[in-house]
Amino acid sequence: MEKEQLEKLNALIADSKGKRKFVQTVDLAINFTGIDFSKQDNRLNMEIKLPNGRGKASNVIFFGDDANLVSKAQQAGAKIISGREIPEVANDKTKLGDLLNYELIAQPALMPQIAKALGQFLGPRNKMPRPVLGTDVGSIIKNIGGSIYIRSKGKYLPTAHCVVGNESMDVNSIASNVDEVIGALTRKVGRPHIKSAFIKLTMSKPVKLI
């Protein structure tokens, strides 16, 4: 991150830190130009690992029946939904909506059942679970907290939003996370297609970085 950008980020954090009764997240918004995201080939579906994490653990749901995998997932702090519980979730609007507050992963054997029961709800929202390959589900869940996901959705507006940290993190760590996200998007779409980038805290006004 250039010196001027780092100074803007530092000023934003210093001005807003501790002014709310909760720890505010640091959010990055990137606006694109010259890309039609309504075309499927142009849509974004990226996982970006942040070098310094997001400052908090992610909420994770693991769809699973295998006792060994379920035990490891529970030890890592995940909420469990078994195969027999999937129809119940599918028929409950509250439980369906609650899925959107979690990162979703699943035992591969349950993916067909999930697709049939929940695909119509989760698919359009780009929230279908990722199948867990292998048995190290605990490490997978822990690593989710260090990644963000950028997906084109909704009306396919030329913008992307993600969390890059929180106000309690070191400013240089947040800056490295911002650089990683912008760098990944630049490699994906090309620098000429990135129109602008803004940074803000949950309750602050946005500050332009690019």
In the DSSP assignment, the letter for residue 103 is: E
Residues 92 and 138 in one domain: yes
Lowest-confidence pick of 10-14, 33-37, 148-152 = 148-152
Domain total in the chain = 2
Residues 49 and 64 in one domain: no
Residues 129 and 165 in one domain: no
Q: How confident is the model at residue 57 (pLDDT cuts 50, 70, 90)?
A: low
Enter the pTM of the model. 0.69
Q: Which of 149, 134, 177 is nearest to 1 (CA)?
A: 177
Residues 179 and 111 in one domain: no
Instruction: Please state the rounded mean pLDDT for residues 131-144.
Output: 85
Which alpha helices (H) appear in the chain, and where do they start and end? 3-16, 67-75, 86-90, 93-99, 111-122, 137-144, 171-189
Residues 27 and 66 in one domain: no
Q: What is the pLDDT of residue 181?
A: 97
Residue 92 token pair: 């409950």
Residues 27 and 99 in one domain: no
Residues 23 and 88 in one domain: no
Residues 98 and 116 in one domain: yes
Residue where one domain finishes, among candidates 93, 121, 144: 144
- Partners of 35 in the β-ladder: none
Task: Answer whether 48's CB lies under 8 Å from 150's CB.
Answer: yes
Domain carrying residue 46: 3-55+148-208
CATH number at residue 173: 3.30.190.20
